[in-house]
Amino acid sequence: MILKGKKGIIFGALDDQSIAWKIAEHCVAEGAEIVLTNAPVAFRMRGDTSITTLAEKLNCEAIPADATRLDDLENLVEKSVEKLGKIDFVLHSIGMSINIRKNKPYTESNHDYMQKSFDISSISFHKLMQTLWKMDAMNDWGSVVALTYIGAQRIFPHYGEMAEAKALLESFARSFGYHFGEKKKIRVNTISQSPTVTTAGSGIEGFDDFWNHADKMSPLGNASADDCAKYCMTLFSDYTKYVTMQNLFHDGGFSSMGMNPKAV
Ligand SMILES: NC(=O)c1ccc[n+]([C@@H]2O[C@H](COP(=O)([O-])OP(=O)(O)OC[C@H]3O[C@@H](n4cnc5c(N)ncnc54)[C@H](O)[C@@H]3O)[C@@H](O)[C@H]2O)c1
């Protein structure tokens, strides 16, 4: 049980395909106590694959919080600390592009939508870390992880403004990682995950081709959400105490490939 005694907050379990759903399940199976959270709208969903069902299954609390709102984040952190004590790990698994949702081509992006996308997908990470910092809510040697995609470094035409959103997210991890490291030995990293079939993933145009191409290019094939969860747990555990301010590829080798005859 590599997370025995650890307390965590997990953002982003929308349904049973969400990467955060798998991470929550694995963390609890490995001994962690967690609080689940998501945007208030996610709490309107009912049924076997809703966040409230997951909370029942994992015997934990689920607290709504819009990650773009500081008052929601403060309430979440306060209640989580009341329930669990100080926090050892936090997962940010949040992403949304309004321009993609509205089918706006990249070259015709609406900039109000773009700002909203950055607020949800990236600035929320800064808001979250700033809230944890101000409330001194984390234990020394804690770990903060956000999920990202290689679209931050390379062009995937249908990934749109999420490219910039992920670049910003990864930069926040490095910058806050410095401050958290100096103050509390807390590490901050991003995991750059393979394309994964989820609500957010499948919202990208041509997602199936995208998934197949990455699968063929990667010597190990695409990494699943379950395997992402296992990797993520190592970053929450005490086995990675000196890994910080890194963007870590969990992609079956895709990021090191130039060409693979299988993909031609
Ligand atoms: N699916 C992929 O191919 C893939 C690949 C690499 C990285 N990622 C990243 O993984 C993370 C999780 O995505 P996923 O693929 O599991 O999809 P998902 O749709 O299951 O998760 C996205 C989550 O963001 C939440 N969210 C949206 N707006 C929010 C807000 N204002 N406040 C709080 N939560 C909000 C949604 O409710 C949802 O739970 C995202 O950062 C995504 O970019 C996904």
CA of 140 to the centre of ligand 1 (A): 27
> Is 48:57 a contact under the CB 8 Å cutoff?
no
Instruction: Flag whether pLDDT at 203 surpasses 90.
Output: no
Q: Is the dihedral of CA 75, 78, 83, 89 positive or negative?
A: positive
Instruction: Flag whether pLDDT at 248 surpasses 90.
Output: yes
Six-digit token pair at 197?
Answer: 């079939």
CA–CA dist 234, 153 (Å, integer): 24
With respect to residue 240, please indicate whether it lies within any of the assigned structural domains: yes
> Is 122:169 a contact under the CB 8 Å cutoff?
yes
> Is 37:90 a contact under the CB 8 Å cutoff?
no
pLDDT of residue 167: 98
Residue to substitute in 9, 14, 211 for testing ligand 1 pocket (most ligand atoms within 8 angstroms of CB): 14
CA of 43 to the centre of ligand 1 (A): 15
The string of pLDDT tens digits covering residues 120-173 is 999 999 999 999 999 999 999 999 999 999 999 999 999 999 999 999 999 999
> Is 36:60 a contact under the CB 8 Å cutoff?
yes
Strands 7-11 and 33-38 come out as: parallel
Instruction: Return the number of other C-beta atoms located less than 10 Å from residue 182's C-beta.
Output: 9
With respect to residue 166, please indicate whether it lies within any of the assigned structural domains: yes
What is the reported pTM? 0.98
With respect to residue 228, please indicate whether it lies within any of the assigned structural domains: yes
With respect to residue 260, please indicate whether it lies within any of the assigned structural domains: no
CA–CA dist 128, 195 (Å, integer): 25
Six-digit token pair at 84?
Answer: 């669990």
With respect to residue 138, please indicate whether it lies within any of the assigned structural domains: yes
Residue to substitute in 18, 127, 144, 218 for testing ligand 1 pocket (most ligand atoms within 8 angstroms of CB): 18
- Which ligand 1 atom is nearest residue 42's CA? 37
Range of the domain at 168: 7-255
Instruction: Flag whether pLDDT at 46 surpasses 90.
Output: no
With respect to residue 58, please indicate whether it lies within any of the assigned structural domains: yes
Q: Which residues pair with 33 in a beta bridge?
A: 7
CA of 17 to the centre of ligand 1 (A): 10
Average pLDDT, the chain: 97
Q: Which CATH number does the domain housing residue 87 bear?
A: 3.40.50.720
Q: Helix, strand or coil for residue 36?
A: strand
Instruction: Flag whether pLDDT at 225 surpasses 90.
Output: yes
pLDDT of residue 199: 82
Instruction: Flag whether pLDDT at 254 surpasses 90.
Output: yes
- Which ligand 1 atom is nearest residue 204's CA? 3
With respect to residue 262, please indicate whether it lies within any of the assigned structural domains: no
Number of domains in the chain: 1
With respect to residue 146, please indicate whether it lies within any of the assigned structural domains: yes
More confident: 55 or 210: 55
Dihedral angle over CA of 239, 58, 173, 82, nearest 10:
-100
| Banded model confidence at residue 229, pLDDT cuts 50, 70, 90 | very high
**Residues near ligand 1 with C-beta < 6 Å?**
11-12, 14, 18-20, 38-39, 42, 66-68, 93-96, 120, 147-149, 193, 195-196, 198-201
